[in-house]
Chains A and B, each alone.
Chain A
């Protein structure tokens, strides 16, 4: 049997009397307003932006007869507050980007190179061969080698089981520490995640070596 909606939501969405609806909206804010404000403050870089984002979220949640809130699907094991955080995060970014530009909150690419190098090192590829941008004016041979390495790495990544590929991407593209990955991917413990990561890196080394890319596995 699916879980029911939270009481405040059910009342809000089912109420037809305008005066009563204002009261139920007040009840909703009483229950979840602090959560909405917390998310806005965490996303915005200063108090004024946070309050702007919070106001925009409230407006978006009320719009079109609470259309956004009606999108929630109650199911066993799901918490409405979790769904609300996901939605409010998106609404905050939508608001802030409309005001301050599309790049607001976009991830920095500065660590991407460092993470790619880390993966290459663990996968058995000589780091210098992967980054021709550091080599001044690379030769045609260097460019070709670089392309082969990039495509080789991309191909072996694509051949991984999706869950293993997700593990690699969270670690080496998104830069998450392993305990956070373990939590996110619902591993029993961080140790299980470390162990799985070690296994997958070994698979990568083996696959790359078979393609003639990188060092042979230990």
Chain B
């Protein structure tokens, strides 16, 4: 099997491929672990360069989540009012959990200026909402009644309500529950 060239991998990383080219390259990547590894590790190297743009959760993604969450949670047509972020402020700042964790799942975040309460949403790795919680505090503990699977990744988002039915842009983070010792 011939492998992808550096030009092809570079073009895929930069999103510079047309639809047909991308399909052909992804067809190869789907079945070639070596080229996949080259792509993945090159992406990590590029993202690790100081000053490079890090795509953790760009505003476009946060906006997409803001649109999708009411549809997923309420299944309907909630009119979610969102204001334009003020200078230097866009969404709550999350503290933990982030990355691999052990022990009880505790959510912690910085206070968001003017927030009256917060809406925390937990999704499993397939994108299903498995828990939602409203609180006025800046922390929350995941109850044991919510199924927590070791080795599984979870995705949590947080929105701050600062006025009647007006919400900030959501912040989002991923974490993994490590195997717990008894």
Contact = CB atoms under 8 A, between A and B. Distances in A.
Interface of A: 35, 38-39, 42-43, 71-73, 75-79, 81-83, 85-87, 89-90, 107, 114, 118, 122, 162-163, 165-166, 169-170, 173-174, 176-180, 183-186, 188-192, 194-195, 197-198, 201
A192 B72 CA distance: 13
B16 A77 contact: yes
Interface string B52-63: 000111001100
Contacts of A190: 57, 61, 155, 172
A86 B57 CA distance: 24
With most chain A CB atoms within 10 A of its CB, the pick from B11, B16, B45, B128 is: B45
A210 B130 CA distance: 28
Given A86-B9, A198-B128, A78 B16 contact: yes
Given A86-B42, A162-B30, A194-B155, A77 B126 contact: no
Contacts of B41: 89
Contacts of A79: 10, 14
Interface of B: 5-7, 9-11, 13-16, 23, 26-27, 29-31, 33, 36-43, 45-46, 48-50, 55-57, 60-61, 64-65, 68, 123, 125-128, 151-153, 155, 172, 174, 176
B23 A163 contact: yes
A78 B49 contact: no
A87 B6 contact: yes
B6 A71 contact: yes
A107 B126 CA distance: 26
Given A89-B42, A174-B36, A194 B125 contact: yes
A85 B15 contact: no
A89 B128 contact: no
A178 B6 contact: no
Given A177-B153, A194-B126, A162 B26 contact: yes
SS of A interface (majority): helix
Contacts of A201: 126
Given A82-B14, A169-B30, A198-B126, A189 B43 contact: no
Contacts of A183: 43, 55
A188 B60 contact: yes
A71 B5 CA distance: 10
Nearest to B9: A86
Contacts of A180: 40, 43
Contacts of A35: 49
Contacts of B14: 77-79, 82
A191 B10 contact: no
A90 B14 CA distance: 18
A71 B6 CA distance: 9
B10 A82 contact: yes
A9 B174 CA distance: 40
A44 to B, nearest CB: 12
Contacts of A169: 30, 33, 36
Given A38-B48, A174-B33, A195-B127, 6 more contacts: A75-B11, A78-B11, A79-B14, A83-B7, A86-B10, A191-B61
